[in-house]
Amino acid sequence: MDSEQLREYGHRMVDFIADYYKTIETFPVLSQVQPGYLHNLLPDSAPDQPETLEQVLDDVKEKILPGVTHWQSPSFFAYYPANSSVAGFLGEMLSAALNIVGFSWVSSPAATELEMIVLDWFAKLLNLPEQFLSRGNGGGVIQGTASEAILVVMIAARDKVLRSLGKKALEKLVVYSSDQTHSSLLKACQIAGIHLENCRMLKTDSSTNYALRPESLQEAVSGDLEAGLIPFFLCGTVGTTSSTAVDPLAELGKIAKSNEMWFHVDAAYAGSACICPEYRQYIDGVETADSFNMNAHKWFLTNFDCSLLWVKDRYALTEALSTNPEFLKNKASQANLVVDYKDWQIPLGRRFRSLKLWMVLRLYGAETLKSYIRNHIKLAKDLEQLVSQDPNFEVVTPRIFSLVCFRIAAVDNDEKTCNNLNRSLLDAVNSSGKLFISHTTLSGKFVLRLAIGAPLTEEKHVMDAWKVIQEEASFLLASQVK
């Protein structure tokens, strides 16, 4: 690590990266390589002697980039976005350069303290209740992903119950959510040892736009209580992955509270929108939650990974996840003067991730960030309108944020043909390399998902995407008629 070599090579890498962004629209959005493509392009073993930066960068261009799906392309509309920004990128650089391992306060006090401060800032932007702020028993913490967020709160909730009821109660613990909830919930259950037959993924349908009905929850809870089981964990979602369904937090929270369940709110994607006053309503009821999670790395210009988790009772986390080996003991921790984030998460080590979020908030400011979100939502609204005006298509479920769920409409209620057509459309559109969208199913319908949220996406990209979709659809429909 020579500072002058770092300077020279660093500058070259900055130019390489700036050039990548400059030409990003020339790449197929979805990588078009075949499985195993890289195996024959690279040697079988590591080199014994150093190679040059030129050789490596040439290989990045010629061998790696063809295998990259370009999440930062303005025509990336699949899944949910994973925003990169100048501020987020600079934060990543700085964090990688300091390269501290912030497991406990003493290992780099600034890492812990900046995280607490920035999470408080963010909680205020979202107008989260006081109890989620760090000044009391609550507080925020940066996890890698929403999966880890949900796992740590589930472990906290599980151990809280088991401490009072004994370990044998594990087999009676019941988890509730809608069938639209992200797969990370079931994965957390698997890891935490919750019996899968006690995981209630309650059915939803189009009558609530795939939101969980409080009556369904109440009914399930009552049944389980009667059966001698122990309801202990409820996950509500604001902006499901399939279709941005919004569960009614306040009503669900009431049921959770009266049954002493831990109530977790997953707003991984849509949480970003809730910094705008006009979208804040979607997390109304969050005051009834025990924990709240949103991913700044999705739609908030903060490079992956940066998943924000707030809890009301930090001790529920630390009682379940603390370790205190001799080699990490230090005066500040022993005197309980500080937060040691190692006890709020699965791993011991942790990067200085608050830097990038801090830089995003400061270099852009809250007002710019709100405009950023609003612009994507406006583009999605415009697209929704266009889809609904095209007789070949239908909007499958009303758009709320920046995701449009649509499909080629069924003719004569022939759902099977319709699904096949839409599957073919998905393939055709994505193999064009011109854009990348993904899919889901809703009530058995194969549905196309177009999520707007890449930082470079402008109106023309959405319009171009829609044109490609229309053209491929016309072609498919025409060949079907033959």
Q: Which of 12, 33, 13, 31 is nearest to 73 (CA)?
A: 31
Pick 176 or 436: Cβ nearer a second copy: 436
List 173's β-bridge partners, or say none.
230
**Helix or strand (DSSP H, E) at 482:** none
Nearest approach in angstroms of CB 384 to a second copy is 19
Pick 255 or 403: Cβ nearer a second copy: 403
Subset of residues 15 to 44 that bind a second copy, contact rule: CB under 8 A: 15-22, 30-31, 33, 35-39, 42, 44
The pairing of strands 307-311 and 139-143 is antiparallel
278 lines the binding site for a second copy (CB under 8 A): no
Q: Which of 288, 334, 290, 339 is nearest to 312 (CA)?
A: 290
107 lines the binding site for a second copy (CB under 8 A): yes
Helices 354-389 and 459-481, packing angle to 10 deg: 40
Nearest approach in angstroms of CB 30 to a second copy is 8
- Which residues lie closer than 8 Å to 119 by C-beta, 6 or more apart? 134, 139, 140, 141, 142, 308, 310, 354
Which residue from 28, 138, 148, 286 is in contact with a second copy, where contact means CB under 8 A? 148
Q: Which two tokens stand for residue 161?
A: 């119950």
Nearest approach in angstroms of CB 358 to a second copy is 8
Pick 83 or 131: Cβ nearer a second copy: 83
Nearest approach in angstroms of CB 56 to a second copy is 5
Pick 175 or 255: Cβ nearer a second copy: 175
Subset of residues 399 to 428 that bind a second copy, contact rule: CB under 8 A: none
**Distances from the Cα of 71 to the Cα of 138, 145, 232, 270, angstroms:** 34, 17, 37, 18
Rg (CA), the chain: 24
315 lines the binding site for a second copy (CB under 8 A): no
Spatial separation of the C-alpha atoms in residues 430 and 69, rounded to whole Å: 11
Which residue from 25, 98, 208, 410 is in contact with a second copy, where contact means CB under 8 A? 98
131 lines the binding site for a second copy (CB under 8 A): no
CA atoms within 13 A on the CB side of 54: 0
List 408's β-bridge partners, or say none.
393
The pairing of strands 199-202 and 173-178 is parallel
Q: Which of 120, 147, 100 is nearest to 350 (CA)?
A: 100
Pick 416 or 467: Cβ nearer a second copy: 416
Q: Which of 13, 17, 62, 28 is nearest to 42 (CA)?
A: 62
The label of the residue with tokens 């998905």 reads 426
170 lines the binding site for a second copy (CB under 8 A): yes
Spatial separation of the C-alpha atoms in residues 264 and 157, rounded to whole Å: 10
Which residue from 220, 248, 455, 463 is in contact with a second copy, where contact means CB under 8 A? 455
Nearest approach in angstroms of CB 152 to a second copy is 9
456 lines the binding site for a second copy (CB under 8 A): yes
Which residue from 202, 220, 363, 410 is in contact with a second copy, where contact means CB under 8 A? 363
Pick 31 or 420: Cβ nearer a second copy: 31
CB 397 within 8 A of CB 206: yes
Subset of residues 244 to 273 that bind a second copy, contact rule: CB under 8 A: none
136 lines the binding site for a second copy (CB under 8 A): no
82 lines the binding site for a second copy (CB under 8 A): yes
Binding-residue total with a second copy (CB under 8 A)? 149
Nearest approach in angstroms of CB 482 to a second copy is 25
Spatial separation of the C-alpha atoms in residues 223 and 219, rounded to whole Å: 6
Burial 85-105 (b: 16+ CB within 10 A, else e): bebbbbbbbebeeeeeebbbb
Nearest approach in angstroms of CB 244 to a second copy is 12
How many residues does the structure list for the chain?
Answer: 482
Binding region for a second copy (CB under 8 A) out of 183-191, 227-235, 257-265, 470-478: 183-191
Which residue from 207, 325, 391, 481 is in contact with a second copy, where contact means CB under 8 A? 325
Pick 329 or 467: Cβ nearer a second copy: 329
Pick 26 or 389: Cβ nearer a second copy: 26
Binding region for a second copy (CB under 8 A) out of 204-212, 281-289, 410-418, 439-447: 439-447
Which residue from 202, 220, 366, 463 is in contact with a second copy, where contact means CB under 8 A? 366
Subset of residues 200 to 239 that bind a second copy, contact rule: CB under 8 A: none
CB 149 within 8 A of CB 182: no
